[in-house]
């Protein structure tokens, strides 16, 4: 007996296998698409929450400023100024969670533009006996294009204010220390000004003493200030340059000290601080205050710290020194026109 083998029809199995493979490919493509969409959505949501948290913190700062009004006091606990009715809630899932106010910061920070001056009063919150030191820091360290000078005690023209490798030097500062009686009795004998030029040198100690009464001699006008190149990891509280001026025998009880800064060869940020005889930086009063607020959106937090000027705070101008310290020892601020009859004194510039 003969048997004939029947051939199996495999076309159905091949079709089934093709469907399975195609389904796997579709699943991979769809999964990748959904994953990318989910990542994009998450990133967009995080960006939205970051923006919302930032603006929530900004709302908290404005609320704190309005609540402060004329009662300027330190607030070192959170939520002191939160609206009692809402508990800091701005909208659904949006709030600010912390407000701190420091009316006596240990540093005063400001920017000095090209051909501009910035004048600020330096006053310890608590005046104690002893010699103080004025700390001047400038040139933000994150600027990667600036370098320190070598040991020159002269200044070239602005066009030549650069190294042999064509790197720009840190700006130099012209620093005027103006002191006058707190009782307002101004005359040529009791109003003093000491002017120094701070030279951004790489190897200098950056220290000098000013003895009161007395002043800076002509040979001491240019002071070598310690500076790091911007690529260095070292800095002075985030600034590349620093100068320490010892204010020997300065009497903060009876004299007001104003520091007038002028940036040479470009704009720069400046930070001023005051050290007592123990070497500690002291709290400063009457110039600036800081508001520190944390905002919340969803589970995202954003913190903002802002510095604001008080009435006696930083004064920005482009007046020459002669307009601030007159030859007769009177502080004047004039407006000048082409009509002689319009020349008039605008009052005390302090």
347 found inside a domain: no
The three state secondary structure string of 116-182 is CEEEEEECECCCCCCCEEEEEEEEECCCCCEECECCCCCCCCHHHCECCCCCEECCEEEEEEEEEEC
pLDDT the model gives residue 188: 52
User: Is the domain of 159 the same as that of 50?
Assistant: no
Domain hosting 131: range is 107-284
User: Is the domain of 97 the same as that of 139?
Assistant: no
319 found inside a domain: no
N-to-C CA span, the chain: 127
User: Is the domain of 177 the same as that of 240?
Assistant: yes
pLDDT the model gives residue 169: 92
3 found inside a domain: no
- For residue 298, report the phi and psi dihedrals to the nearest 5 degrees: 65, -120
pLDDT the model gives residue 270: 94
pLDDT the model gives residue 198: 93
d(CA 231, CA 305): 27
Instruction: Find out whether the peptide bond into 213 is cis, omega within 30 degrees of 0.
Output: yes
User: Is the domain of 32 the same as that of 132?
Assistant: no
DSSP 302-320: EEEEEEEE-TTS-EEE---
Number of domains the chain is built from:
2
Predicted TM-score (pTM) above 0.75 = no
User: Is the domain of 130 the same as that of 202?
Assistant: yes
341 found inside a domain: no
46 found inside a domain: yes
d(CA 141, CA 27): 52
Q: 306 with 58: CB under 8 angstroms?
A: no
pLDDT the model gives residue 25: 80
pLDDT the model gives residue 133: 95
User: Is the domain of 49 the same as that of 190?
Assistant: no
User: Of 221, 172, 213, which Cα lies nearest the Cα of 195?
Assistant: 221
pLDDT the model gives residue 83: 58
pLDDT the model gives residue 135: 96
User: Of 303, 194, 309, 314, which Cα lies nearest the Cα of 255?
Assistant: 194
User: Is the domain of 125 the same as that of 157?
Assistant: yes
Give the containing element (helix H, strand E) for 225.
strand 222-227
The residue among 284, 304, 328 that closes a domain is 284
332 found inside a domain: no
User: Is the domain of 126 the same as that of 274?
Assistant: yes
166 found inside a domain: yes
Question: Could you tell me the two tokens for 267?
Answer: 């704009």
pLDDT tens for the chain, 350 residues long, are 555 555 555 556 667 777 777 778 888 877 877 777 777 666 777 778 888 888 888 888 888 777 766 566 777 777 666 654 556 667 677 888 888 888 888 999 888 888 788 889 899 999 988 899 999 999 986 666 899 998 777 788 888 888 888 889 999 999 999 888 887 665 556 778 888 899 999 987 888 888 887 777 777 888 899 999 888 888 999 999 999 999 999 999 988 899 999 998 889 999 999 999 999 999 998 777 888 888 888 888 888 888 877 765 677 766 666 555 543 334 444 444 455 555 454 544 43
The residue among 284, 303, 333 that closes a domain is 284
CB contact set of 315 (below 8 Å; sequence gap of 6+): 118, 119, 120
Please name every residue paired with 118 in a beta bridge, in sequence order, or none if there are none: 261, 316
Give the containing element (helix H, strand E) for 295.
strand 288-297
Q: Is 48 helix (H, G, I), strand (E, B) or coil?
A: helix
pLDDT the model gives residue 348: 45
User: Is the domain of 182 the same as that of 33?
Assistant: no
User: Is the domain of 121 the same as that of 64?
Assistant: no
- Positive or negative, the CA dihedral 105, 106, 107, 108 is positive
What's the residue count for the chain?
350
Residue written as tokens 């319009």?
Answer: 342
323 found inside a domain: no
DSSP 228-293: --TTSS--BTTEEEEEEEEEET--TTTEEEEEEEEEESS-EEEEEEEE-TTSPBPPB-SSEEEEEE
User: Is the domain of 156 the same as that of 124?
Assistant: yes
pLDDT the model gives residue 327: 39
User: Is the domain of 200 the same as that of 239?
Assistant: yes
Q: 220 with 245: CB under 8 angstroms?
A: no
Give the containing element (helix H, strand E) for 39.
helix 11-68
């Amino acid at each position: 007996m003969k048997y004939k083998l029947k051939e199996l029809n495999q076309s159905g199995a091949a079709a089934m296998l093709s469907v399975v493979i195609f389904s796997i490919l579709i699943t991979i493509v769809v999964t990748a698409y959904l994953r990318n969409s989910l990542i994009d959505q998450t990133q967009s949501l995080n960006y939205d929450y970051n923006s919302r948290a930032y603006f929530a913190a900004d709302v908290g700062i404005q609320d704190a400023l309005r609540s402060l009004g004329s009662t300027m006091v330190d607030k070192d606990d959170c939520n002191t100024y939160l609206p009692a009715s809402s508990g800091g809630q701005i909208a659904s899932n949006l709030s600010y969670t912390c407000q701190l106010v420091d009316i006596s910061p240990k540093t005063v920070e400001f920017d000095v533009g090209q051909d501009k001056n910035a004048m600020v009063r330096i006053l310890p919150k608590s005046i104690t006996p002893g010699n103080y030191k004025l700390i001047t820091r400038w040139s933000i360290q994150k600027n990667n294009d600036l370098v320190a000078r070598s040991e020159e005690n002269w200044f070239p023209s602005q066009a030549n204010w650069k190294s042999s490798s064509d790197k720009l030097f840190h700006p130099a500062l012209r620093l005027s220390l103006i002191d006058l009686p707190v009782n307002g009795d101004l005359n040529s004998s009791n109003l003093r000004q000491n002017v120094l030029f701070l030279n951004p040198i790489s190897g200098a100690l950056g220290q000098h003493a000013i003895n009161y009464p007395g002043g800076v001699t002509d040979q001491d006008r240019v002071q070598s200030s310690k500076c790091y190149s911007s690529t260095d990891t070292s800095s002075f509280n985030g600034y590349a340059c620093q100068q320490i001026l010892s204010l020997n025998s300065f009497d903060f009880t009876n004299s007001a000290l104003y520091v007038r800064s002028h940036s040479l060869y470009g704009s720069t940020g400046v930070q001023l601080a005051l050290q007592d005889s123990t070497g500690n930086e002291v709290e400063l009063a009457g110039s600036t205050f800081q508001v520190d607020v944390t905002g919340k959106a969803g589970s995202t937090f954003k913190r903002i710290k802002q510095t604001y000027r008080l009435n006696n705070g930083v004064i920005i101008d482009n007046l020459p020194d002669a307009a601030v310290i007159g030859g007769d020892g009177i502080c004047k601020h004039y407006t000048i026109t082409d009509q002689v009859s319009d020349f008039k004194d605008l009052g005390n510039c302090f």
